[in-house]
Structure 1
Amino acid sequence: MLFPFLIQAFLTVILLGLFCHLAYRKWAGRRALRLPPGPLQLPILGNVHQLPQDYQEKTLARWGRQYGDIVFAQLFRTPAVIISSVSVAKDLMEKRSANYSSRPHFVLQTELMGWDSAITHMPYNDRFRKHRKWIQDAIQSKSALLSFRSLQYRETYTFLTSITESPDEFMSHIRRFAAALIMEITYGHTITSLNDQFLRIAERATTETVANGSPGSMLVDFFPILKHMPLWMPGAGFLRRAAQVKYHVRRMLDKPYDLVKNRLATGTASPSFTSALLEQASRGNVSNPEEEEEDIKGAAGVLFAAGSDTTVSVLSTFLLAMVLHPEVYQKAQTEIHQVTGGTRLPGFEDREQLPYLACVLKELLRWHCPVPLGIPHLASVSDEYSGYDIPQGSLIIPNIWAMTQRTDVFPDPSTFRPERFMEPGGQVTDSIDPANMVFGFGRRVCPGQDFADASIWLLIANMVATMDISRAQDTRGNDITPSASFTSGFVSHPKPFKCRISPRSASVIKLISDMSTIHA
């Protein structure tokens, strides 16, 4: 009995010695590099043990304040560079975009959850450029943005009508508004209610994805061998959950695509992103039809997934901010009334005459950015920046939340104060625009930025013009003051809150009704 034990002990010592030798070599190699400063690391773990499960952006921001705008950390075997400065982010991800435009391989979301055909997760390659061109041509050109205006007006007035009828369900109306815009553009499908089957399928896929792991947040992303664990094995719960998410993602990609394909076959398809690509594929010389089909499904699916949830976050944050800061809302109402006279609803032609509302939107993105950490970029080759070495394969993590909360750039950052973007002469400052942070950087910047901006502006302008927003009251008539608190996760939302929304007057209700009829 002793002999096998001695053999086992001997092998353990040998393996331990080998591990220590390799760890020392790696440590010595790192010592030779001029790495950015960062927190102390432990063997094997690196700095993973120092990251909380929730609100990681706050811990990373604290590192930034302690060590500087560029911080080095080790996440198991993976080097990571955390950026807390817009100027550093632009220096690397925009000015050196050839090196910092790719993505790490996210095993959980690409292989296990089925998002491998989403441009947001693709490495920077020909397939990425193909998807990017499709999306840019469809929603980024000036002609495309102008063509969407009738849809944006229609859905804005539908929202106003709905919130007039059932104001307590404001979150449902926001979700419907965001989804309806994207669904119509992407698939030519009009959403008339929250019970729409395609809306339910898409929302299930996106919420399940966010709930079960952000990009680069799970152990399997650092140790891909874990994806081969037997499902019955303790600790394999993430695999079972990922399989369920993949089912919903697959339905999201397939169902609306099949709808458009069938409508094209019967000649009943409305113009859309998907129908245009299908018609283009039918005319062109496609070498791999199955691959082309998957590309179209992925490009269409990511439009909804990337656009709707962030729009919901921004609009719900607006309501929360206005409930907490009625003086801001009143000032915005006064500005709009001066432009419209209260006899019509604001339109895109009024935007340049509403500088205070522009500041409100800027402060909205700054006060609470919808995607606190973005999706990590990848250093494709080793680089040197500001005297520091950035190893090949490093995760480049832009801490967008930290950038919007810097006290040296935005004094008293927890306070919602649109005036910080207003110059003494009443003009809107463009020197520091939160939109240049929250939509991403370089070749990975969100291609739907202008469309999202226009949609959000139009809805908020019309809400300010037509609705009074105030604090809800309890059964005793006392005001209920919500807290400025937000959920943790890849996309962050305000935690559930109550508010009171009501039309400003009977004439406003008639204006909404008239405009809804015109744009029906």
Structure 2
Amino acid sequence: MNASFDPQTVAAVVALGLLCRWLLALWYNTVNLPPGPTGLPFLGNVHQIPLQYPHKTLYEWGQRYGDIIHARLFQKHVLVLDSTKAAEDLLDKRAAKYSDRPHFTLLEDLLQWKPLMVFMSQGETFRLHRKWYQSFLENRQSLRTYESMQQREVDSLLLALLESPENVAYHLKRFTGSLMLEIAYGYTETSEKDAYIRLASETITQSLEAGTLVASLVDFFPILLYLPHWFPGGGFKSNAMKLHGRVWQIMESPFRYVQQAIACSTARPSFTSFMIDQTAKEGQLAEEDELNIKGAAILMYSGGTDTTNTALLTLLLAIALHPEVLRKAQAEIDEKIGPSRLPTLEDRASLPYVECIVKEAYRWNPVLPAGIPHQLREDDEYRGYHIPRGSMVISNIWAMTRDSATYPDSDSFLPERHLPSRGGPICRDPKSIVFGFGRRICPGRFLADSSVWLIAANLLATFDIMNARHPNGDVITPENAFLSGAVSHPKPFICTIRPRNKAYTEMITQRSTSSLAI
């Protein structure tokens, strides 16, 4: 007996089946989720997350719902981790699942910040870049080779502070820029180097600030890429195109500089020159290899400048606000080092209070307060909760450094909290938090940390840092405040910096002269 089916009936059955499957998937992805604020249809919780200081709102949610929080940004599931325990359990111990990245349409497709490992999904290219960074930034032998560069740039910084202490913010920025230019590209020409540092700094800052509301929506609705630039809200495309040209310039110009130096046999050792030598075949680079080296080098530079500079400015602000911390540090340095020389990295273990100051600066103002989002590769369960595949995972580092159980009186700057207590546990080292987690941990953390410590020790040893004064003698107290953004920059402030005595002035001048002669 032959059966015949009405096409409309078949279509209806198929449609019903697809609808059931969709409803089942929807139910599966919404049942037993971690607790969180109730959202609106379509918008989710977008309207509840402010554009300014969102990490503070996520911290408040953590106080209400617990240390793992579920939210939605439109149709995107978001998992917020407000505790170190949750971050370590998921991002460290389950790194294979939690080490992907969401796609950053604005930064990658419009501004063309690629290929940068910080934005890559897991895969062959990610593993290649990670291997390169491990060789140059996590290898003990490589780190030792950078110490002479660090010391030379510190000597140059101290001399600049003698000559124009009012420009301290610029001098700190120039220190980090000069150091990373030499490591990444072997760049040494002073005038060209300064011009590049200014251009790169402006481009990086503007890229981070480019996320207007409409531009940010592009990450969730890539169709907005096709919005005409003249259409209301489409102006972000024109701005992005202008900025894209500068991104291309700061990626291209130092790479060509290295290539030319190699051709003239004048190239200094650097990450880029080494990678060109290792990758080129018969003197030629494949287009893909060239692109990968450019991306890896610019990330090495950009990732090591703005964040390190922010940590240094945070430390300077804390010292200006807490003169008693400066006095304790100087007493320790005078006792352990003496007045006849300046601190080196070899002195680090013998200056525990200076170490505590650096740790507390990391904790007091984590440079990346909300980290950089991870993305979950497959469905997971944690503490009995369902976490859907594709969820964006935010490690709220600011909340972790405000954990009152670990850091009592967490809003205060208290270096002493990091000293071992008699019979009690040592306060958790903030370095295990602020540099990220899992396979996405910052590969330049050792170089950045040693640079921050070296500057801190030398600055504290040689200069007095105090509040500035108005012409009428009134004290100008810096504001204990930080700008909102992906990077938590201190609000611009002024302070007075002057050498402790004539002997240190002469020592700085002599050392700087010797460094320049090398």
TM-score by length of 2: 0.92
**What secondary structure does 2:102 align onto?**
coil
- Greater displacement, 231-240 / 312-321: 231-240
Q: CA deviation at 1:31?
A: 7.4
| Letter of the 1:295 counterpart | N
Give me the whole-angstrom Cα distance separating, in 1, the residues matched to 2:43 and 2:28: 15
Change (3 A) 1:195 1:119: closer
| Letter of the 1:482 counterpart | P
**Residue 366 (structure 1) aligned with residue 378 (structure 2):** no
Q: Do the aligned partners of 1:183 and 1:191 also contact (CA within 8 Å) in 2?
A: no
Give me the whole-angstrom Cα distance separating, in 1, the residues matched to 2:239 and 2:428: 41
1:166 aligned to which of 146, 154, 164: 164
Aligned-CA RMSD value: 2.3
* Partner residue, 2:487: 491
**What secondary structure does 1:496 align onto?**
coil
* Partner residue, 1:199: 197
After the TM superposition, list the runs of 4 or more consecutive aligned residues in structure 1 that deviate by more than 6 angstroms. Answer: 214-217
**Residue 401 (structure 1) aligned with residue 398 (structure 2):** yes
Q: CA deviation at 1:26?
A: 8.1
Give me the whole-angstrom Cα distance separating, in 1, the residues matched to 2:282 and 2:511: 42
Give me the whole-angstrom Cα distance separating, in 2, the residues matched to 1:464 and 1:519: 20
**Residue 437 (structure 1) aligned with residue 433 (structure 2):** yes
Q: Do the aligned partners of 2:229 and 2:236 also contact (CA within 8 Å) in 1?
A: no
Deviations 1:5-55 (A, max 9, x none): xxxxxxxxxxxxx9xx99x94896157621000000100000000011110
Give me the whole-angstrom Cα distance separating, in 1, the residues matched to 2:49 and 2:192: 38
**Residue 477 (structure 1) aligned with residue 473 (structure 2):** yes
Give me the whole-angstrom Cα distance separating, in 2, the residues matched to 1:502 and 1:109: 41
**What secondary structure does 1:501 align onto?**
strand
* Partner residue, 2:231: 233
Q: CA deviation at 1:89?
A: 0.3
* Partner residue, 2:378: 381
Give me the whole-angstrom Cα distance separating, in 2, the residues matched to 1:226 and 1:354: 54
* Partner residue, 1:96: 94
* Partner residue, 1:54: 52
* Partner residue, 2:340: 343
Change (3 A) 1:351 1:193: farther
| Letter of the 2:385 counterpart | Y
- Greater displacement, 206-215 / 269-278: 206-215
* Partner residue, 1:258: 256
1:270 aligned to which of 268, 271, 282: 268
* Partner residue, 1:462: 458
Percentage of matched positions with identical amino acids: 44
Unaligned runs of 5+ in 2: 1-15
Give me the whole-angstrom Cα distance separating, in 2, the residues matched to 1:313 and 1:194: 23
| Letter of the 2:392 counterpart | L
**What secondary structure does 1:45 align onto?**
coil
| Letter of the 2:87 counterpart | A
Give me the whole-angstrom Cα distance separating, in 2, the residues matched to 1:191 and 1:178: 15
Q: Do the aligned partners of 2:155 and 2:512 also contact (CA within 8 Å) in 1?
A: yes
* Partner residue, 1:324: 321
Q: Do the aligned partners of 2:69 and 2:81 also contact (CA within 8 Å) in 1?
A: yes
**What secondary structure does 1:320 align onto?**
helix
Q: CA deviation at 1:197?
A: 2.5
**What secondary structure does 1:196 align onto?**
helix
**What secondary structure does 2:126 align onto?**
helix
1:357 aligned to which of 343, 354, 359: 354
Q: Do the aligned partners of 2:187 and 2:193 also contact (CA within 8 Å) in 1?
A: no
Q: CA deviation at 1:198?
A: 1.9
Change (3 A) 1:418 1:517: same
Q: CA deviation at 1:129?
A: 0.7
Deviations 1:265-301 (A, max 9, x none): 1111111000111111224798x81111000000000
Give me the whole-angstrom Cα distance separating, in 1, the residues matched to 2:189 and 2:318: 28
Q: CA deviation at 1:103?
A: 0.3
| Letter of the 2:332 counterpart | E
Deviations 1:341-387 (A, max 9, x none): 11111111211111111111111100001111111000000000011
* Partner residue, 1:190: 188
Residue correspondence of structure 1 range 275-286 to structure 2 within 5 A: 275-283=273-281
Q: Do the aligned partners of 1:214 and 1:490 also contact (CA within 8 Å) in 2?
A: no
| Letter of the 1:316 counterpart | L
Change (3 A) 1:424 1:32: closer
Unaligned runs of 5+ in 1: 1-17
| Letter of the 1:359 counterpart | C
* Partner residue, 2:132: 134
Give me the whole-angstrom Cα distance separating, in 1, the residues matched to 2:96 and 2:108: 23
| Letter of the 1:464 counterpart | L
Aligned pairs, number? 499
* Partner residue, 2:10: none
**What secondary structure does 2:114 align onto?**
coil
Change (3 A) 1:194 1:291: closer
Deviations 1:196-231 (A, max 9, x none): 232223112201111112999810101111111111
* Partner residue, 1:449: 445
Give me the whole-angstrom Cα distance separating, in 2, the residues matched to 1:368 and 1:483: 14
**What secondary structure does 1:222 align onto?**
coil
Q: CA deviation at 1:81?
A: 0.2
* Partner residue, 1:516: 512
Give me the whole-angstrom Cα distance separating, in 1, the residues matched to 2:262 and 2:380: 49
